[in-house]
Structure 1
């Protein structure tokens, strides 16, 4: 009797499981109506927003959470030789909650895209609550300049200075210092050697303000100010702490990279990794008969102005990230389009105009030369994805083309540069990397979980959304129709394979189960990743912070107390000889071998909220496409 009952229960449980799977498979192939999918994603996004603040505590364990922020996590990109399921679980299931400015700002900008297209409405109380929290990330060392910090700051009484403090990361870092040696050795043995760097975070993580968060903060402010659907009290709050625009751009100019500068300051110095990535371009500058050349950099600080151990540039040298450069240019384009002429004239002096044009031409040249493809690890040290680079670039083109009548001559030149790059290299990259599933679904994926001829499709949702967004941004322009609604119109010269790819890709995105898969993303990372992103490149500056010189060819690098850099321009023949030498006892490895290298793990930031909000922006833009222009372009 008991056996029969057991068989009965097992049979029905099996049938229930089979039926449930069949229903899921059936539903996953059904295309969702636009409004239903937007509502579903909006609810999912709301679930990822912290409703209350919580402190960090060991027992019962709890991460610090800041009310109003959208959740993000620091995860570990770990890989073994077999790309095992265990490492897949480590990547996808283990993370440290991270309360940063960047993720929530990015989510709000995506949602503002939807608001401007008429497809989304903010809960104004929640938005104001989130803005209140973001305003706490103002750089308190800079007064009312519209700069923002990645983490909130704490006051250091000894130096009368505010210092960034990533609570969860640093608390976990302190906790790992208590690990016994036998546990550390075991973690290193099983491949978790990153634990050694985690223990040193408290000596490294003294971040200054960066131009990336600063530029995104300005874009958020401009979008809030110019939207008629945002209540005035929110606009007033943001403006009350972010009104010194000119002073911000003075900082941006001051801390940019001027390789031809002869003033004996650190403005002519750059990270050896950046110099290697771009040395072929930089080596041509002396022959161009130009007296001034500059590029936007990442950190709004130099060696002369840093406060050691409180506000300090990571590894004591500035660096170039092409995606950061895209974001800075995006903020300048916003200012040109939406700013008043008096402010534009004050901000855009000869130096900033030079940086604006130089940086745009420079990043396009890196796409044409293949540097982005050959060395994404050091050409985009903080943004480890070509898809993100092209997405951020396409946002510039979409903005400029949709407001072309408001552009001055310099902005029109920038639009021309972006258009050529994105309609050739950018579009071809997206088309060439498209993949097809067994059921005919078109999709894209980057590098997470791909190794040993195996893929867990961990970032496929995110990468697919970015790829389709890039194509739509590149080939459409937003204009008001006769009824006053925003519509997207295709360029009449849009190739048919582009519109076909968009249509096929959107059939994948609009299916019921698309966003129920992994929403992991490699949006942001540390710069020290695999072997090729270490400091094993030629340099002509190698000294301690106190000025004492050291031999850079032997021994190990002291990341906290040493300065290693390239100052000025090194002759190409001399640089070729330097490439043959060892740096910190290692040979220069000129070829990037990929991010998924067994036992060479690194930390990156991931957020479901970013994937979902980019998805909502994509769905909204696709929904607003004028179908007649699509048919004409075909």
Structure 2
């Protein structure tokens, strides 16, 4: 072979390996390192522009969903325009995903005992301190501070609270910083922050919630199963989370029961009723888990102590429901303390009703109102993954021949049918033109300087990784003998799923560090004027003090609805409800359509966590790496 041919051959080899995807092990090592670096190992106190950062938590931040021309998009994605948020949800999920990666995948050890211990200790600070019994695993999104005036513990987002408390001074300093950084359109950003700050204040007074509560239950199950690897952490978790009877009592106390004669049980947010009224009609005896651990009777007095549900009324979010169903399933399957001893008839009804609602919602495309069905958790990919986790462990129970309650088999049938047909079709309908990757909504409506569409794919990594996780959870089980993930069956459908997974994994390996690793794992319940509950049909109007509120004689310009309770009590027949939809409420027409999360004038705050994106991507790669292909 001549010299020039040898040189040419070597050049071709170099080009091939330069363009080839990095080995999966190499990418996983890098992800583990990045995730580890995002954990707070040195706490910091708030002193603007320095944010308070609590030891053991992972990075999570509040951003504003601006979109459109490059200047607008920059306000959304700029690395300096965000607020570090100390919440339980992001850290709870990151810790859970890191553990799950080694439970079901093949990857290097994701987290050592020291760093997991810091995360568990941080999560423990999010217990509801207003409980009058010990060791109740009722959790809050934000940690609580004690108010000596009201003699109560208040849940508060410390950095947002402190930023807004001295807003004018902080915004002036922020403006100076942005000028130094060369950020454009500063005046518009400052005006937007001013306009949204007042509404954010009311969001600071939330009670405990069942999403964080059952996330913590699921984490407890994982710590139990991994005692050989992290020997002390499960026993530490038990010290403050052992009262399973109380948590089940609370779950039932605050559940939604449309046929109940009691106002605290049969009254729900008008937005919830709007999208799920057909389900309520067909399931009148349903018991459905709600978001908040609070009812109308309690909010009447607790609001004075700065502990209140948004709009003083409970709601149903299918993502919350998916987390609760998983928490219940795992607690009973793996004998978490005495949880199964209290799995009574009402709790079984709640379990089945909530799972049925999840399946119904997916099959009916959220009745075209994902903004109301996923009122706090807009990411559809995240919601679908939470639901698929239950299907995965129910499938595992079948292969392990575990004895489970009969209602588990009914839920398995619901979820297997939904995830192995409707969810697959959703992915096939929403895959991007490359047939490999997926977008949710962050940046999809951005344009370039010429006004031409130019999506930035900021949640593309997250959505694509979650798609892989959902498909693997829906179509595989963990073989107890080999420790490998095996496909549930053979056949044309499995071949299709394999192609989908292979395509997405190849895309992730090629692009994982090329896009912003953003996500929208949480948001406020209002994403613009049309999401306010007052504009939807209702049949219950009161103030917190019990006096009647007349919506037909109410001036929204001069009167306040902050202390109002506007809801739907019981069931309204569809003929009457359709008439109510055609009427105005507080002189506003019912918003009957949803125009997407990127609607002009409807920008909203959202919570994003880059290590959460990296964690679920790591999970996708590790599980793929463990597939019995």
1:202 & 1:177 partners in 2: Cα distance?
15
Is 1:145–2:136 an aligned residue pair?
yes
1:203 & 1:357 partners in 2: Cα distance?
34
Quote the offset at 1:491 in angstroms: 2.7
Indicate the residue corresponding to 2:124 in structure 1: 135
Is 1:35–2:25 an aligned residue pair?
yes
User: Secondary structure of 1:56's partner?
Assistant: coil
Q: 2:363 aligns with which of 365, 368, 383?
A: 368
> Given the superposition, is the C-alpha separation of residues 400 and 180 from structure 1 closer, same or farther in structure 2, using an over 3 Å criterion?
closer
Q: 1:267 aligns with which of 253, 265, 268?
A: 265
Indicate the residue corresponding to 1:126 in structure 2: 115
2:47 & 2:507 partners in 1: Cα distance?
42
Is 1:312–2:304 an aligned residue pair?
no
1:267 & 1:135 partners in 2: Cα distance?
30
In the TM superposition, 1:259-338 aligns within 5 A as: 259-263=258-262, 265-285=263-283, 292-306=285-299, 307-308=302-303, 309-338=305-334
Quote the offset at 1:229 in angstroms: 3.9
| TM-score normalised per structure 1 | 0.87
Size of the aligned set, in residue pairs, is: 583
Quote the offset at 1:252 in angstroms: 0.2
> Given the superposition, is the C-alpha separation of residues 458 and 301 from structure 1 closer, same or farther in structure 2, using an over 3 Å criterion?
same
> Given the superposition, is the C-alpha separation of residues 357 and 501 from structure 1 closer, same or farther in structure 2, using an over 3 Å criterion?
same
Is 1:62–2:50 an aligned residue pair?
yes
User: Secondary structure of 1:199's partner?
Assistant: helix
Instruction: Spell out, residue by residue over 1:181-229, the C-alpha distance to the aligned partner (whole angstroms, 9 max, x if none).
Output: 9x99x98967954532313433441111100000000100111011144
Is 1:419–2:424 an aligned residue pair?
no
CA contact (8 A) 2:53 2:86 kept: yes
CA contact (8 A) 1:224 1:230 kept: no
Quote the offset at 1:305 in angstroms: 2.0
1:169 & 1:27 partners in 2: Cα distance?
47
Indicate the residue corresponding to 1:173 in structure 2: 164
Quote the offset at 1:463 in angstroms: 0.9
> Given the superposition, is the C-alpha separation of residues 202 and 599 from structure 1 closer, same or farther in structure 2, using an over 3 Å criterion?
closer
Is 1:565–2:559 an aligned residue pair?
no
- The structure 1 segments of at least 4 consecutive aligned residues displaced by more than 4 Å after TM superposition are 25-29, 177-181, 186-192
Instruction: Spell out, residue by residue over 1:350-380, the C-alpha distance to the aligned partner (whole angstroms, 9 max, x if none).
Output: 11011111111122112222325x1110011
Quote the offset at 1:388 in angstroms: 1.8
User: Secondary structure of 1:436's partner?
Assistant: coil
Quote the offset at 1:418 in angstroms: 0.4
1:29 & 1:92 partners in 2: Cα distance?
29
Is 1:625–2:624 an aligned residue pair?
no
User: Secondary structure of 2:551's partner?
Assistant: coil
Quote the offset at 1:119 in angstroms: 2.3
> Given the superposition, is the C-alpha separation of residues 105 and 344 from structure 1 closer, same or farther in structure 2, using an over 3 Å criterion?
closer
Indicate the residue corresponding to 1:379 in structure 2: 373
Is 1:396–2:390 an aligned residue pair?
yes
In the TM superposition, 1:397-476 aligns within 5 A as: 397-404=391-398, 405-406=401-402, 407-437=404-434, 442-451=436-445, 453-476=453-476
User: Secondary structure of 1:315's partner?
Assistant: helix
- Structure 2's unaligned 5+ residue stretches are 1-14, 176-184, 448-452
- Structure 1's unaligned 5+ residue stretches are 1-24, 287-291, 628-634
> Given the superposition, is the C-alpha separation of residues 190 and 55 from structure 1 closer, same or farther in structure 2, using an over 3 Å criterion?
closer
1:113 & 1:325 partners in 2: Cα distance?
20
Quote the offset at 1:146 in angstroms: 1.1
2:251 & 2:623 partners in 1: Cα distance?
32
1:27 & 1:196 partners in 2: Cα distance?
52
Quote the offset at 1:92 in angstroms: 0.8
1:125 & 1:213 partners in 2: Cα distance?
23
CA contact (8 A) 1:465 1:614 kept: yes
CA contact (8 A) 2:52 2:158 kept: yes
CA contact (8 A) 2:101 2:107 kept: yes
Is 1:477–2:477 an aligned residue pair?
yes
CA contact (8 A) 2:227 2:234 kept: no
| TM-score normalised per structure 2 | 0.88
CA contact (8 A) 1:211 1:324 kept: yes
Q: 2:84 aligns with which of 97, 112, 116?
A: 97
CA RMSD between the two structures? 2.4
Quote the offset at 1:123 in angstroms: 1.6
2:187 & 2:365 partners in 1: Cα distance?
36
1:370 & 1:588 partners in 2: Cα distance?
20
Indicate the residue corresponding to 2:179 in structure 1: none
CA contact (8 A) 1:192 1:599 kept: no
Instruction: Spell out, residue by residue over 1:93-147, the C-alpha distance to the aligned partner (whole angstroms, 9 max, x if none).
Output: 1210001000000001111111213524222111112211111111111231112
> Given the superposition, is the C-alpha separation of residues 98 and 345 from structure 1 closer, same or farther in structure 2, using an over 3 Å criterion?
closer
Quote the offset at 1:567 in angstroms: 0.6
Quote the offset at 1:57 in angstroms: 0.4
CA contact (8 A) 1:193 1:599 kept: no
2:361 & 2:74 partners in 1: Cα distance?
36
> Given the superposition, is the C-alpha separation of residues 203 and 499 from structure 1 closer, same or farther in structure 2, using an over 3 Å criterion?
closer
CA contact (8 A) 2:539 2:568 kept: yes
> Given the superposition, is the C-alpha separation of residues 558 and 223 from structure 1 closer, same or farther in structure 2, using an over 3 Å criterion?
farther
Is 1:116–2:111 an aligned residue pair?
no
Quote the offset at 1:413 in angstroms: 1.1
Quote the offset at 1:454 in angstroms: 3.0
2:63 & 2:119 partners in 1: Cα distance?
24
Indicate the residue corresponding to 1:21 in structure 2: none
CA contact (8 A) 1:253 1:351 kept: yes
CA contact (8 A) 2:286 2:350 kept: yes
Is 1:78–2:66 an aligned residue pair?
yes
Is 1:590–2:592 an aligned residue pair?
yes
User: Secondary structure of 1:241's partner?
Assistant: helix
1:189 & 1:126 partners in 2: Cα distance?
41
2:170 & 2:513 partners in 1: Cα distance?
39
Is 1:353–2:344 an aligned residue pair?
no
1:498 & 1:194 partners in 2: Cα distance?
44
Quote the offset at 1:313 in angstroms: 1.1
User: Secondary structure of 1:595's partner?
Assistant: coil
1:216 & 1:559 partners in 2: Cα distance?
33
1:26 & 1:199 partners in 2: Cα distance?
56
> Given the superposition, is the C-alpha separation of residues 250 and 551 from structure 1 closer, same or farther in structure 2, using an over 3 Å criterion?
same
Is 1:522–2:527 an aligned residue pair?
no
User: Secondary structure of 2:567's partner?
Assistant: strand
